[in-house]
Amino acid sequence: MGLPIGGGGLGIGTIIVLGLIGYAFGIDPRILIGGAEMISHGGAPSYQTERRSAGKTGAPKDEMGDMIAGVLGEIDDRWSEIFQASGQNYTGPKIVLFRNSTNGGRCGMAQSAMGPFYCPPDRQIFLDTGFFREVETRFRGCSGNACKFTAAYIIAHEAGHHVQNLLGILPRVTRMQQQVGSKAEANALQVKVELQADCLSGVWVNREEKKRPGFLEEGDIDAALTTASAIGDDTLQRKATGRVVPDSFTHGSAAQRKRWFMIGYQQGSVQACNTFAANAQL
């Protein structure tokens, strides 16, 4: 779904359409309208994790690459259904699978150390296939077959950023971050973006389970929650420095990430994922 973006302001018809989209998806229309007024240039921020897709490039020919492509196909199918139910069209992201490093387009160089990330201006998800093995070994987020579902959770999180981009949320948040008075305030907005993506990944799991009974195996959800905990800002900071600095969080605490994934999974609706609501309890 391409929302009209231009430098000359929005017509009343466009504003009405964006308002209706916001109502349908349970998103504050001001977020969408503000986002549609932006023009995204080079040096844009990327959104990281710590389909039949529209395209797939640089994919390593191995079992992991095949699994990722299959998961993205299912993610695209479910989001297409969700968008269609609200009278909108969904266009899936391009996926770039790589090892070690690759050209990240307008978001700069993609490297293994960055982890998976989404590049909004190019509408591309970059995944180093080695990251999923690292989840099992370094982060100990899963073991055995449960690692396949953990990989699906991580991919679904990045696809959640793509959904946010289509709805105009990401550019709006970028502008808000440029206007706030401190790094802590900008980080707080970023945490809301990441927790919403966690919630949207839970929505996908909910819809996929309904579409394909037996999709989930025993231990899958626990593995995803373990991974969410392992890559929470507080967990990573505590391991790296022995202390936690909440104002520096950019992805949310372990408890927050688990909570918002479960909100999406249990309720199965985009409306439940409004982390930007004034009364949202993060």
CA pair distance 166, 237, nearest whole angstrom: 32
Task: Check if the beta carbon of residue 273 is closer than 8 Å to that of residue 196.
Answer: yes
* Alpha-carbon torsion, ordered 152, 154, 156, 161, to 10 deg: -170
| Residue of 276, 170, 227, 186 whose CA lies nearest to 50 | 227
Query: Residue 196 sits in which domain range?
Result: 47-273
> What is the chain's pLDDT, residue by residue, as a tens digit (282 residues)?
222 223 333 333 333 334 444 444 444 444 443 333 332 333 455 554 443 333 444 444 567 777 788 889 999 999 999 999 999 999 999 888 887 777 777 887 676 666 778 899 999 998 887 776 776 666 555 566 667 787 888 899 999 999 999 999 999 998 998 998 888 898 889 889 989 999 999 999 999 999 998 888 888 888 777 766 665 444 444 445 555 444 544 667 778 888 999 999 999 999 999 999 877 888
- Give domain status of residue 16, yes or no: no
- For the full predicted model, state whether its pTM sits above 0.75: no
| Residue of 71, 35, 49 whose CA lies nearest to 215 | 71
Task: Check if the beta carbon of residue 169 is closer than 8 Å to that of residue 35.
Answer: yes
pLDDT of residue 144: 62
Q: In the beta sheet, which residues pair with residue 55? A: 94
Task: Check if the beta carbon of residue 200 is closer than 8 Å to that of residue 70.
Answer: no
Three-state SS letters, 173-226: HHHHHHHCCCHHHHHHHHHHHHHHHHHHHHHHHHHHHHHCCCCCCCCHHHHHHH
- Give domain status of residue 7, yes or no: no
Q: Determine how many CB atoms are found less than 10 A away from the CB of residue 248.
A: 11
- Give domain status of residue 85, yes or no: yes
Q: How many domains would you assign to the chain?
A: 1
3-state secondary structure at position 247: helix
CA pair distance 38, 23, nearest whole angstrom: 21
- Give domain status of residue 15, yes or no: no
Rg (CA), the chain: 18
Q: In sequence order, what are the residues at sequence separation of 6 or more whose Cβ sits closer than 8 angstroms to the Cβ of residue 31? A: 22, 167, 168, 169, 172, 173, 276
Q: How far apart are the first and last CA of the chain?
A: 29
CA pair distance 30, 65, nearest whole angstrom: 39
Cα torsion angle, 44, 138, 251, 269, sign? positive
Find the helix or strand (DSSP H, E) in which 55 lies.
Answer: strand 55-57
- Give domain status of residue 280, yes or no: no
pLDDT tens digits, 90-113: 999 988 888 777 777 788 767 666
Q: In sequence order, what are the residues at sequence separation of 6 or more whose Cβ sits closer than 8 angstroms to the Cβ of residue 109? A: 101, 102, 103
- Give domain status of residue 182, yes or no: yes
- Give domain status of residue 61, yes or no: yes
Q: In sequence order, what are the residues at sequence separation of 6 or more whose Cβ sits closer than 8 angstroms to the Cβ of residue 48? A: 114, 115, 116, 117, 118
Task: Check if the beta carbon of residue 107 is closer than 8 Å to that of residue 116.
Answer: no
pLDDT of residue 88: 92
| Residue 121 token pair | 């201006």
Q: Determine how many CB atoms are found less than 10 A away from the CB of residue 11.
A: 11
